[in-house]
C-alpha cells in the first residue's frame, strides 16, 4: 500500500480572486476529524505547496489556467463519479464472497448490512454546512464538498471494518485498504 494512498487529499475550489483548498484525511480508519487543513489564498506559491504530491478533487470539474497550474503540482485528479462506481464494485465483490462462503457448519451465512452509498455530489446543489460556517460562497461550497468526501471516507472505513473483521472476507489481508479512488484523465477532466 502506497503511503500517499493513506494521506489527505485536497479539495480545490476557486473564484475570480482566491483559491480555497481543504485537506481531507481519507485513511480507512475511524477519524474524529477528517477535515484537516484549510487555505483560502491568492498566493500561488502557497497553493502549489498545499497540493504538492497530493491527489486532488477539482470543485465541479472546473478547468482553467489556474486550476491546470495546480494540477501540474498535484499527484493526480480524482474522478468522484468513477470512484463511487469503484466503491460499488468493490462492495459487490466483497458481498459476493460473503454470499458464496459457508459457516464452519456448512450453512449459508446471514446477510450483511452494508452502509448505503451516497448519491453523486451535485455541484449545483451542495449539501448543507454546519452552523457557524462563514457566509463566503467560496468557503461554504468548498467545506460542503470536503464534508461529502469525508463522509465517503467514513463509509469506506465502515466497509473495511466489516471486511477486516471477518476472516472469510479478509482473505488473508486483515489490513484496511485505501479508498479506491479513480484518477481522471491526465488533463484533469472528470465525468
Total residues belonging to the chain: 191
Domain parsing of the chain, residue ranges? 3-170
pLDDT in tens, 16-51: 899 999 999 999 887 778 999 999 999 999 999 999
Q: What is the mean pLDDT of residues 45-72?
A: 92
Q: What is the mean pLDDT of residues 54-82?
A: 93
Instruction: Say what the pLDDT of residue 158 is.
Output: 95
Closest to 178 in 3D by CA, of 90, 74, 96:
90
**pLDDT exceeds cutoff 70 at 1:** no
Q: What is the mean pLDDT of residues 178-184?
A: 96
**pLDDT exceeds cutoff 60 at 187:** no
Phi, psi of 22 (to 5 degrees): -115, 130
Amino acid at each position: 500500500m502506497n503511503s500517499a494512498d493513506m494521506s489527505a487529499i485536497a479539495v480545490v475550489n476557486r473564484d475570480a480572486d482566491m483559491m480555497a483548498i481543504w485537506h481531507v484525511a481519507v485513511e480507512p480508519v475511524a477519524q474524529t476529524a477528517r477535515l484537516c487543513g484549510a487555505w483560502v489564498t491568492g498566493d500561488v506559491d502557497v497553493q502549489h505547496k498545499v497540493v504538492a504530491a497530493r491527489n486532488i478533487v477539482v470543485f465541479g470539474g472546473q478547468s482553467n489556467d489556474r486550476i491546470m497550474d495546480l494540477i501540474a503540482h498535484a499527484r493526480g485528479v480524482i474522478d468522484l463519479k468513477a470512484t463511487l462506481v469503484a466503491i460499488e464494485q468493490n462492495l459487490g465483490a466483497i458481498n459476493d464472497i460473503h454470499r458464496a462462503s459457508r459457516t464452519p457448519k456448512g450453512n449459508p451465512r446471514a446477510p450483511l448490512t452494508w452502509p448505503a452509498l451516497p448519491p453523486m455530489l451535485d455541484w449545483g446543489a451542495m449539501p448543507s454546512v454546519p452552523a457557524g460556517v462563514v457566509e463566503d460562497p467560496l468557503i461554504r461550497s468548498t467545506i460542503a464538498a470536503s464534508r461529502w468526501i469525508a463522509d465517503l471516507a467514513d463509509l469506506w472505513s465502515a466497509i473495511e471494518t466489516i471486511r477486516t473483521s471477518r476472516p472469510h472476507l479478509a482473505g488473508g489481508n486483515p489490513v484496511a485498504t485505501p479508498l479506491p479512488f479513480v484518477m481522471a484523465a491526465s488533463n484533469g477532466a472528470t465525468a
